[in-house]
Amino acid sequence: MTFFSCEEKKEITVTETRTATTRDLAPKLFATSDERFRDAKPSPVKAETPVGWLALPASQFRLLNYRFGESGMGEVWVSISQGSVLDNVNRWLKQFGTDPLDQAALEKIPTVTLAGAAGVFVTAEGEYASGMGSPPKPGFGLAGVVASVGGQILTVKMVGPKAEVEAAKPVLETYVKSLRMAE
């Protein structure tokens, strides 16, 4: 191997090499920036991927991430969020243009167990404006659970075309009940 610089040309010869070890990871072609530069840590939540859902790589805000439905537009993700259960429920409802709830109304929402804690099962439908720079999507549905688990707000959110979300609600309920915090 020969290296050159702007100064006097000197030839450099490499005489030392090392063999690849099991610690050397194979390069991943077409990796996203998040995959290349994020400080990857094991997810604090565990779950089995339901049949028919496509597991996707985690991202900065999605600890577990999936696609579902025939259209390919249905998404499910698990996150740890800031604020309170009520704050998160109202943020989701706002994305569908629904009026916010007060604490009394929140207490009337059906509950489901999420990672050993009681969570509220939130639903909405209509025009979904995620607020993430994408245009609003008409005819979408939401089903999800928000719970306070071990002092953290754990959320499982499903959005997609209304009919696909409606059809997938039983799978979501089973998935939510099986989700657990990592040991």
pLDDT at 89: 98
With CA atoms as reference, report the closest residue to 114 among 81, 158, 149, 79: 149
Section 134-146 average pLDDT: 96
Residue 128 within a domain: yes
Residues 66-100: tens digit of each pLDDT = 999 999 999 999 999 999 999 999 999 999 999 99
Residue 139 within a domain: yes
Residue 32 within a domain: no
The model's pTM: 0.77
Domain CATH number, residue 177: 3.40.1000.10
pLDDT at 4: 56
Residues 32-74: tens digit of each pLDDT = 655 555 555 677 889 999 999 999 999 888 999 999 999 999 9
With CA atoms as reference, report the closest residue to 157 among 71, 69, 80: 80
What domain range includes position 158? 54-181
Section 144-155 average pLDDT: 95
Beta bridge partners of 156: 78, 145
With CA atoms as reference, report the closest residue to 175 among 51, 85, 43, 69: 51
Section 126-131 average pLDDT: 93
Q: Which residue do the tokens 């900065």 mark? A: 60
Residue 73 within a domain: yes
pLDDT at 20: 67
Residues 7-38: tens digit of each pLDDT = 666 777 777 777 766 666 666 676 665 555 55
Distance CA 164, CA 169 (A): 9
Residue 7 within a domain: no
What's the token pair of residue 175?
Answer: 């998935």
Section 138-152 average pLDDT: 96
Residue 19 within a domain: no
Residue 14 within a domain: no
Q: Output the CA torsion sign for 77, 81, 83, 84.
A: positive
HSE-CB for 128 with a 13 A CA cutoff: 23
E strands, the chain, are 45-46, 54-56, 64-68, 74-81, 111-114, 117-128, 137-149, 152-161, 180-181
Domains of the chain: total: 1
pLDDT at 88: 97
74 with 162: CB under 8 angstroms? no
